[in-house]
């Protein structure tokens, strides 16, 4: 696996690669890889000749300094997993190189960005869209893969790709859960033992078919702090806190 840090070198490498291969798949990540990420990478490997991955813990999408500081980092283990699965190219830029403009150029979306997760995390999706646009331009992949756990993020990125006529197709991938039903997330590693026992109730309660008011009441009784539970299109989107750890999930409404 080639590890490249410099954005221009990454762009050139991908440009050369494109001359030799039919299709390139791309999976952007912030590291701390788990089975959810690996399922995106497996799908990319299945559907493309070459798979490129990025690991960049993007500070501009964290509206809370402690959240960024506490975000898990397992770089060596990540590299081992990527090599083992057969990823050819890994991009790990530095903040100064990828934000050489000091984040003065930003991608703003004005409708969906302020709702759901965006309401409690001002600036979060501007940071996400800005980094993802940079990564998509630098990689110019045929397909890029995003997990459905972050449904609002997927919808915003897909909307951006269409709105800006990007050549990369944005592929949503099935949410992966633990056997308990808890959605896999890098943040699960931050839960205490006691919180890990409570966390599966989140999915159980939001998929139980009771009213949103009843869900909120039950979640509070189990020790969660509810950020939001809202229906949007054919999904129920939800975010809760267990202590300081923020968990998100969504279920399709039949």
Q: Which residues are catalytic?
A: 37
Please identify, using beta-carbon distances, which residue of 40 and 242 lies nearer to ligand PAF.
40
**In this structure, what token pair is assigned to residue 134?**
């940079």
How many residues touch ligand PAF under the rule CB under 6 A: the total is: 10
**In this structure, what token pair is assigned to residue 28?**
């952007």
Q: Is 241 helix (H, G, I), strand (E, B) or coil?
A: strand
Please identify, using beta-carbon distances, which residue of 34 and 203 lies nearer to ligand PAF.
34
Please identify, using beta-carbon distances, which residue of 124 and 203 lies nearer to ligand PAF.
124
Residue 184 lies near ligand PAF (rule: CB under 6 A): no
Applying CB under 6 A, among 109, 148, 150, 249 the residue interacting with ligand PAF is 150
Rounded CA-CA distance 26/35 in Å is 17
Q: Which stretch binds ligand PAF (CB under 6 A): 4-12, 22-30, 44-52, 234-242?
A: 22-30
- 53 neighbors 25 (Cβ within 8 angstroms): no
Residue 131 lies near ligand PAF (rule: CB under 6 A): yes
Residue 251 lies near ligand PAF (rule: CB under 6 A): no
Residue 36 lies near ligand PAF (rule: CB under 6 A): no
Residue 161 lies near ligand PAF (rule: CB under 6 A): no
Unique residue bearing structure tokens 């600036």: 123
Residue 60 lies near ligand PAF (rule: CB under 6 A): no
Residue 188 lies near ligand PAF (rule: CB under 6 A): no
Rounded CA-CA distance 175/187 in Å is 15
Q: Is 102 exposed, middle or buried (0-12, 13-18, 19+ CB in 10 A)?
A: exposed
Closest approach, Cβ 218 to ligand PAF, in A, equals: 28
Residue 128 lies near ligand PAF (rule: CB under 6 A): yes
Q: Is 136 helix (H, G, I), strand (E, B) or coil?
A: helix
Q: Rounded to whole angstroms, what are the CA distances from 189 to 3, 27, 41, 172, 246?
A: 26, 21, 21, 24, 12
Closest approach, Cβ 104 to ligand PAF, in A, equals: 19
Residue 58 lies near ligand PAF (rule: CB under 6 A): yes
Residue 118 lies near ligand PAF (rule: CB under 6 A): no
What dihedral angle (degrees, nearest 10) is formed by the CA atoms of 71, 76, 78, 82? 160
Buried b (16+ CB within 10 A) or exposed e, 137-173: ebbbbbbbbbbbbbbbbbbbbbebbeeeebebebbbb
Residue 132 lies near ligand PAF (rule: CB under 6 A): yes
Q: Which stretch binds ligand PAF (CB under 6 A): 4-12, 24-32, 38-46, 99-107?
A: 24-32
Residues at the interface with ligand PAF (CB under 6 A): 28-30, 58, 61, 128, 131-132, 150, 153
């Amino acid at each position: 696996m080639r590890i490249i840090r410099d954005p221009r070198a990454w762009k050139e490498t991908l440009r050369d690669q494109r001359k030799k291969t039919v299709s390139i798949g791309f999976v952007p990540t912030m590291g701390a890889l788990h089975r959810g990420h690996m399922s995106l990478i497996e799908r990319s490997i299945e559907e493309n000749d070459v798979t490129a991955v990025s690991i960049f813990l993007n500070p501009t999408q964290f509206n809370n300094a402690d959240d960024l500081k506490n975000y898990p980092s397992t770089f060596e283990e990540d590299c081992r997993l990527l090599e083992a699965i057969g990823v050819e190219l890994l991009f790990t830029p530095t903040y100064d190189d990828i934000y050489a403009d000091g984040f003065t150029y930003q991608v703003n979306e004005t409708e969906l960005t302020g709702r759901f997760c965006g309401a409690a995390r001002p600036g979060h999706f501007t940071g996400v869209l800005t980094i993802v646009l940079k990564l998509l331009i630098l990689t110019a992949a045929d397909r890029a893969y995003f997990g459905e756990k972050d449904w609002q993020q997927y919808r915003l990125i897909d909307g951006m790709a269409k709105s800006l006529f990007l050549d990369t197709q944005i592929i949503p991938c099935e949410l992966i859960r633990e056997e308990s039903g808890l959605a896999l997330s890098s943040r699960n590693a931050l839960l205490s033992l006691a919180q890990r026992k409570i966390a599966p109730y989140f999915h159980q309660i939001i998929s139980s078919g009771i009213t949103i008011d009843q869900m909120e009441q039950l979640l509070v009784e189990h020790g969660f702090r509810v950020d939001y539970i809202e229906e949007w299109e054919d999904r129920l989107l939800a975010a809760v806190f267990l202590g300081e750890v923020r968990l998100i999930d969504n279920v399709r409404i039949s």
